[in-house]
Amino acid sequence: MPSPEKTNITRRKFLDLGFKGYAGAQLAQTVPITLISACAQIEQGGQTVHGVCYHDCPDSCSWTVTVRDGEVASFGPNDQNPFTGGSLCNKMEKFPLDVTYHPDRILTPLKRVGRKGAGEFEPISWNQALEEVSVKLKGLITAYGAESVLPFGYAGTQGLIQGSVMSNRFFARMGSSLLGATICGSTAVAGNTLVNGQTLGVLPEDILHSKYIVLWGTNTLHSNVHLWPLIQQARRAGARLIVIDPFESATARASDWHIQPMPGTDVALALGIMYVIIKEKLHDTDYIEKHTLGFEELERHVAGYDPETVSQICDLPVSAIKAFAREYARGRPSLIRILVGMEHNRNGGDAFRAVSMLPSLTGAWREHGGGLMHMTYELAGQALNYERVNLHESMRKGESRTINMVELGKALTSAGTDPPVKALFVYNTNPVVTMPNQNLVRQGMEQEELLTVVLEHFITDTAKYADYIFPATTQLEHWDVVDSWGQTYINLNQPAIPARGESRPNSEFFRLLAEKMGYTEAAFREEDLEIAKSIFQTDHPYMEGVTFEYLRQHGWARYKVPEPWLPHREGNFGTTSGKCEFYNPGLAVQGVGPLPEYKKVPYSQTQIENFPLQLLTIKSTRWFLNSSHANVSRLQKAEGAPALDISRADAEQRGIADGDKIRVFNENGEMLVPARIGNRTRKGVVCLPQGFWPSLLEGGSSANALTNDWLADLGGGSALQDTRVEVEKS
């Protein structure tokens, strides 16, 4: 099979009510009665419209909506989709109630009337708001240059159109600063790509053929729910399931074996596994000779990672390291499933490099269901007409600086930022909640001279700092095309109901603002439906029979990929050499070592002494997706309040009992939470869930009030898991 081509795939006065929820009687005045009684049941009659979940999730579930008299009558999964049919996740099963018809939803443009952060706004017309924004924007560009404008959009929707098509065109035409959207996935992708030249490997359905399944740094039960039934089916057929994770997740509890290394030491563990495999001659010499480069250099390198050394680094028994290496090498077909869990530390990129080498070392790629399962977005990059998505690349004149989203607080507050950031456009994201170093981000956004424009559904913790808020449509109200980074299906999202109130799609906001700015290019006159149709104008074999009209009728389609899918049985890696590259001396020019290695995090002595505990902030919530839905009262109740997981030894040392209110703190900030004592974390490690809105928590801080805005070793990603804290009774 030829290797995939490399493709750049790369929303009177309104006061904040605190999102404390509304009584059922109030809610009943707002939504159709059928939704209250049976939100997820598809009823007879009415019009059926196909759509797809927009969330930053590997599942990308297909759904159907029954519409009657312009309102949603019922909502549920598209049962015809063989991968996601049957159910939606608990976050999305009542999406119309939770988002589209939520009583707190913003349905008119708003202008700030109080201080920044107070959440005090008054209504304003679309035309007046756009006029005021455009006048201020033109003045800032004249005074400071276009690079003083920072677009800040991320993965609040994975839709190709509402995510970024028109915003990219707008900011490219302007010549604004570029956003390094690297907080999640970029380090993982960089590490895997350096070794294999791509992230596309084993496809999700092919896990049914695996006999030894390793979930490395991923909580499948909560974050990839439609893969889990396939894993269970494989287990019933005899597969063994191993989870490698420093935290005892729900997935780890359900595994056959949970291996629990210290956080940030995955690269050392992978290199130690290689040591055992090579020393005991469990590697596939034929596959290595034909389809890899640099084995001799790798063999010499891993000599420094014997099990005894790795045991000290990872705090794992020598016997466990050896046993896992042997089981993995012999458990054919063996499959390693990775996503992004290992990446958020200063060894994250090298961890992905090392783990990505293992299938080539053992020749696991030879067998159906053997190898590495990572991202699948390259399927869309090859199959769809991405020239239409990436039209903005031809619109930018000259070079522009890039500001890393991880360092948003620094960018907004540093006197050395030249030109200073004077305008911030936020859409599809909630950075006050989701970016590290929360208090520095807040400090930056409090500046009166910073023009802040937010496109949103709700007054989020970020929107409270806006000068203008524009109401965005929800997924039930606009056109979009949604590819996936975790499976093999493409979906068309059709608007099911008219846009509520004065809400408009993200794309329409940028068209209208472009007109106010005097941008007359034809690219700003393209409508969403036109763009959606053009994305399917392709003759790639993966799209055989998959047209816009087919998707309009069915909603979803699977790419027509070859069967069986064995991408690297005969090599064909996406590297320049076409081989898996264990060793790459050419990386030196990029400041990257030729081989992955474990490096100690350079903490200061003060950090070590004052903050002895390592903090993990992870996606452990079941009812929120990052910060989405965290304002919905029924989901807040289901999730419960956040708690700090701490080992019994660390709790006893500090006189903390289970359930005690504690203060978690470091030089960045503090958070007040109850303690949860148990075995989910090891001694020296504490864990907080991410995604909670600080405005809804006691003390007004969430996990990112503590995290560092350090960068990982590769890809510009975040090293937020290298944060150190101390804990005391409040």
Residue 34, helix vs strand vs coil: helix
Q: Is the pLDDT score of 27 beyond 90?
A: no
Q: Is the pLDDT score of 28 beyond 80?
A: no
My answer on whether 349 and 228 are in the same domain is yes
My answer on whether 535 and 663 are in the same domain is no
Residue 386 covered by a domain: no
The pLDDT of 290-298, averaged and rounded, is 98
Q: Is the pLDDT score of 685 beyond 60?
A: yes
CATH code for the domain in which residue 327 is found:
3.40.228.10
449-483: per-residue pLDDT in tens? 999 999 999 999 999 999 999 999 999 999 999 99
DSSP conformation letters of 585-644: GGGGGGT--SS---------HHHHHH--EEEEEE---SS-BTTBTTT-HHHHHHH----E
My answer on whether 326 and 417 are in the same domain is no
Share of the chain above pLDDT 90, in %: 92
Do residues 103 and 459 touch, judged by C-beta distance below 8 A? no
395-444: per-residue pLDDT in tens? 999 999 999 999 999 999 998 899 999 999 999 999 999 999 999 999 99
Residue 478, helix vs strand vs coil: coil
Residue 643 covered by a domain: yes
My answer on whether 247 and 115 are in the same domain is no
For residue 226, what are the CA distances in angstroms to 59, 74, 89, 221, 486? 6, 22, 9, 9, 10
My answer on whether 329 and 425 are in the same domain is no
Residue 245 belongs to what domain range?
A: 202-373+570-590
Q: Is the pLDDT score of 16 beyond 80?
A: no
Instruction: Select from 555, 590, 625 the last residue of a domain.
Output: 590
- Provide the mean pLDDT of the chain: 93
- Pair of tokens at residue 440: 């520095």
Residue 429 covered by a domain: yes
More confident residue, 32 or 136: 136
Instruction: Select from 511, 544, 563 the last residue of a domain.
Output: 563
Residue 695 covered by a domain: yes
Q: Is the pLDDT score of 278 beyond 80?
A: yes
Its pTM surpasses 0.75: yes
39-59: per-residue pLDDT in tens? 333 344 589 999 999 999 999
Q: What is the pLDDT of residue 46?
A: 83
CATH code for the domain in which residue 424 is found:
3.40.50.740
Q: What is the pLDDT of residue 446?
A: 98
Q: Is the pLDDT score of 206 beyond 50?
A: yes
Residue 402 covered by a domain: yes
The helix (run of H) or strand (run of E) holding residue 409 is helix 408-413
My answer on whether 347 and 434 are in the same domain is no
Nearest CA to 170 out of 532, 526, 537, 530 is that of 526
| Tokens 């509520």 -> residue | 500
555-598: per-residue pLDDT in tens? 999 999 999 999 999 999 999 999 999 999 888 888 899 999 99
Domains in the chain, number? 3
CATH code for the domain in which residue 624 is found:
2.40.40.20
My answer on whether 536 and 578 are in the same domain is no
Q: What is the pLDDT of residue 45?
A: 59
My answer on whether 365 and 217 are in the same domain is yes
My answer on whether 26 and 49 are in the same domain is yes
The pLDDT of 541-555, averaged and rounded, is 97
Residue 723 covered by a domain: yes
My answer on whether 575 and 527 are in the same domain is no
The pLDDT of 260-270, averaged and rounded, is 98
Q: What is the pLDDT of residue 33?
A: 35
Residue 614 covered by a domain: yes
My answer on whether 239 and 328 are in the same domain is yes
Residue 167 covered by a domain: no
My answer on whether 266 and 411 are in the same domain is no
The whole-angstrom separation of Cα 138 and Cα 10 is 29
The whole-angstrom separation of Cα 8 and Cα 14 is 42
The whole-angstrom separation of Cα 371 and Cα 333 is 8
Residue 452, helix vs strand vs coil: strand
